[in-house]
Amino acid sequence: MRKKSILILIILMVYSLTFGEDVKKQKIKLDDLYNLKQISQLQYSPDGLWIAFVVTKAEKKENSYNSDIWMMPAKGGTPLKLTSHIKEDHSPQWAPDGKYLAFLSERTGKSQIWLFHTQGGEPRQLTKMNNDVESFTWFSDGTRIAFIAKDPEPKDQKKKSDVIVVNRLQHKRDGEGYLDEKRDHIWLISVENSQPQKLTDGPYDEEDISFSPDGKEILFVSNRSENPDANENTDLWAVEIESGRMRQLTANVGPDFHPSWSHDGQSIAYLASLDFNNVSGITYLWRIDAEGKKPINLTEKTDRNVAGWDAAEEVMIKPIWSADDEFIYFILEDSGNWHLCRIHSSGGDHERLVAGERTAGNLALSPNGQDMIFTLEDSLSPPEIYTAKTNGQGLRRLTTLNEDFTAGLKLSEPMNIHCQSFDGQEIEGWVMKPVDFQPGRKYPMILWVHGGPQYQLGTFFDYRFQLLAAAGYVVLYSNPRGSTGYGEAFTRAIWADWGNKDLKDILAGVDHVVKMGFVDPEKVGITGWSYGGEMTNFAITRTDRFKAAVAGASDSDYFSCYGYDDLHVWWETEVGLPWEKPELYRRLSSIYDVHKVKTPTLYLHGQNDYRCPLPQAELMYLRLKKLGVDTELVIYPDESHSLSQPEHQIDRYRRTIEWFDKYLQPEKNKKEE
């Protein structure tokens, strides 16, 4: 009897402790944006003993995002913060001889190259350009650095006028404003002499630079067609440092980009699309010899994108050669995941080294070729640094920078779903239940539509979705046709036909989840940003299914977008010239069906958005106002297409939740009152 009593006591104690831990967990809050750390730009030191990386975090006091350089032992240990400046420090690169750690910093107002001496001391500024340094790369002996920067203003120029004069076809770009004739060119500077030497010139932009292993050339990417502003067909080029002589390595009909030298200097790996303007085509991994001959499409049999850009981190994802040049490593998009893969440099089938329901990125290989580091995240876990052998074995986590943040949160775990659309096409999505979900109840649901449309949602940590689940909503997000990750035909299925199959696909997802029994079909809302905002406009003008909507950074009248936004090449490629295809532009534009709208709709927009200009939201807002539909327009000053100020982002999410609460959970508002 005594033993039995002790056993019961132990069980009760364990239960009490477990319950107590659960009670301490809190729902995610708007201000938790300030606790989330993004990790990117991983770099091994030349001796392989250290890792440099970047941590980016929203700062409440400064109302901005701040990036700092961190360092930690490659085998694991306590991460050390190297920089703590209120301005961004990012893009760390070790000198090949290990003497310096270079990085970009905005601490003087412009992005410039700074150098840490690895023996200690404060960093010193290397470049003093009067325009931003965009990127840089080390010479093989560590004595020089090549970098990309725009042409400087003439020293004898008088006070600059505030009058804007434009002459270029590509006359504006979101986040930059109106464009002048200054271009991004290659410069060379010695680490002991701060006088840079300009290597390239002309009405062209250069990017993606790297020194050849023998140090004689700089490889770069440029559009040097007759009119670069009229297309996006970049090619690989090389410039000889001593003579300035250039040679063209590729002549693909589509863009070639993100090149990477093999260690022996005999070959170059790069990414390329066979689509002239890379609108809906697959991005493949290619290899070409250093002379620019015999290009080989290594992933031709893989109907999936080789990822070239991490949208969340806004960093490039270049292919990486193994130390012996036998393999090329890359990230592959597939069904809501980003997998770490490798393929033999001579071709064949690729291997998935880190797969599963998760997102890999920021890959780097150790100098001895035995290990690799990368970030991993999933729907419940923000990114952390992991390590493994280069064959994928021995996976191990190195950092816990976000562990304290997530440990105290009650999170909703997404459920993967597959449903059939109107024509039998399978559509993948994910459903998150409210964090306080109770079986037998029916909840309001919010459908979140991604932007792009050439993008995919999936297995990464999303603060926005967790906020909605914490606010009592079922959250549905899916990858309708037009998304990447499911093959070229799937992406091209909405070519010049927006708001048709893609809209039916997301509606099929709504029907599928409603049938699962825990959603109130009369309390479903829709939201999205960019193309997701446009899909919201399609939804409210073509169906009365949704009881509330929030459209962010959306277009509505495509005819007026041409020339007002920064996407004239996109419009010409997919839809055609507006004066030649006026009926198609009209058919695709939601504004012409605005008289059908009955859904209360909130519009959110950056004032300086040149991707989806503010008047596009104003058009919808004024018409809904005249029609007597409940609507509101919120304008964020000094913001372009992607809101950059944390206060504005938090305001966006707060207003989104409040708008849905008003129409989908009115009883919640009454309780709070």
The pLDDT tens digits for 422-454 are 999 999 999 999 999 999 999 999 999 999 999
When pLDDT is cut at 50, 70 and 90, the band that residue 158 belongs to is low
Q: What is the structure's pLDDT at 193? A: 78
Percent of all residues in the chain with a pLDDT value above 70, rounded to a whole number: 94
- The Cα-based distances of 445 to 431, 442, 476, 528 in angstroms read 10, 9, 7, 14
Residues spanned by the domain of 567: 410-672
When pLDDT is cut at 50, 70 and 90, the band that residue 5 belongs to is very low
Task: For helices 501-514 and 531-542, give the axis angle rounded to 10 degrees.
Answer: 80
Counting every residue written for the chain, the total comes to 673
Percent of all residues in the chain with a pLDDT value above 90, rounded to a whole number: 88
Question: Which candidate, 88, 105, 106, 187, places its Cα nearest to that of 115?
Answer: 105
- Upper half-sphere CA count for residue 542 (Cβ side, 13 Å): 19
Which tens digits make up the pLDDT trace of 557-581? 999 999 999 999 999 999 999 999 9
Question: Which candidate, 298, 211, 293, places its Cα nearest to that of 249?
Answer: 293
Q: What is the structure's pLDDT at 312? A: 53
Coil, helix or strand at residue 517: coil
CA distance 443 to 544: 19
- The Cα-based distances of 440 to 413, 430, 520 in angstroms read 19, 20, 11
Give how many domains the chain has, as a whole number. 1
Written as six digits, the tokens of 582 are 């006026």
Whether the CB-CB separation of 552 and 463 falls below 8 Å is answered with no
Whether the CB-CB separation of 535 and 552 falls below 8 Å is answered with no
CA distance 540 to 551: 10
Look at residue 479 and tell me whether its pLDDT is greater than 50. yes
In a domain, 320, yes or no: no
CA distance 488 to 280: 7
- Cα angle for residues 31, 528, 430 (degrees, 5° grid): 85
Which tens digits make up the pLDDT trace of 248-289? 999 998 899 999 999 999 999 999 998 766 677 899 999 999
Q: What is the structure's pLDDT at 309? A: 67
In a domain, 380, yes or no: no
In 390-518 the beta strands, taken as DSSP E runs, fall at 396-397, 409-410, 415-420, 426-432, 443-449, 474-479
In a domain, 484, yes or no: yes
Calculate mean pLDDT across residues 190-212.
Answer: 94
Which tens digits make up the pLDDT trace of 305-349? 998 766 555 567 899 999 999 999 999 999 999 999 999 999 999
In a domain, 173, yes or no: no
| Backbone torsions φ then ψ of 83, nearest 5 degrees | -125, 150
- The Cα-based distances of 214 to 164, 294, 449, 619 in angstroms read 44, 21, 48, 57
Look at residue 502 and tell me whether its pLDDT is greater than 50. yes
In a domain, 668, yes or no: yes
Write down the pTM of the prediction. Answer: 0.94
Whether the CB-CB separation of 651 and 465 falls below 8 Å is answered with no
Whether the CB-CB separation of 591 and 620 falls below 8 Å is answered with yes
- The CA-based diameter of the chain, rounded to the nearest angstrom, is 97
Question: Which candidate, 214, 213, 232, places its Cα nearest to that of 223?
Answer: 232
Look at residue 19 and tell me whether its pLDDT is greater than 70. no
| Element housing 621 (H / E) | helix 614-627
- Cα angle for residues 525, 530, 533 (degrees, 5° grid): 25
Look at residue 666 and tell me whether its pLDDT is greater than 60. yes
Whether the CB-CB separation of 189 and 144 falls below 8 Å is answered with yes
When pLDDT is cut at 50, 70 and 90, the band that residue 519 belongs to is very high
Whether the CB-CB separation of 88 and 105 falls below 8 Å is answered with yes
Task: For helices 463-470 and 646-664, give the axis angle rounded to 10 degrees.
Answer: 40
Q: The sheet that has 548-552: what strands, in order across it?
A: 415-420, 426-432, 474-479, 443-449, 519-529, 548-552, 601-606, 631-636
Written as six digits, the tokens of 382 are 């923000």
Whether the CB-CB separation of 399 and 414 falls below 8 Å is answered with no
In a domain, 485, yes or no: yes
CA distance 599 to 10: 56
In a domain, 138, yes or no: no
* Sign for the pseudo-dihedral over CA of 212, 213, 215, 216: negative
In a domain, 624, yes or no: yes
- The Cα-based distances of 218 to 131, 136, 214, 254, 277 in angstroms read 21, 11, 10, 22, 25
User: How is 202-244 classified by DSSP, letter by letter?
Assistant: SS--EEEEEE-TTSSEEEEEE--SS-GGG----EEEEEETTT-
Query: Mean pLDDT in the chain?
Result: 93
CA distance 614 to 395: 47
Question: Which candidate, 584, 579, 420, 435, places its Cα nearest to that of 496?
Answer: 584
* Sign for the pseudo-dihedral over CA of 259, 261, 262, 263: negative
- Give the amino acid at 44: Y
User: How is 527-589 classified by DSSP, letter by letter?
Assistant: EEETHHHHHHHHHHHH----SEEEEES----HHHHTTTSS-HHHHHHHT--TTT-HHHHHHH-
When pLDDT is cut at 50, 70 and 90, the band that residue 160 belongs to is confident
CATH number of the CATH domain containing 502:
3.40.50.1820
Q: What is the structure's pLDDT at 11? A: 35
- The Cα-based distances of 9 to 2, 3, 16, 184, 374 in angstroms read 11, 10, 10, 72, 46
Peptide bond into 444 cis (omega under 30): no
CA distance 388 to 372: 6
- The Cα-based distances of 330 to 333, 338, 345, 641 in angstroms read 10, 10, 12, 29
Q: What is the structure's pLDDT at 152? A: 86
Task: Write the DSSP symbol of residue 305.
Answer: P
Instruction: Assign residue 610 a region (left: φ > 0; alpha: ψ between -120 and 50; beta: otherwise).
Output: alpha
Which tens digits make up the pLDDT trace of 223-243? 999 999 999 999 999 999 999
- Give the amino acid at 278: N
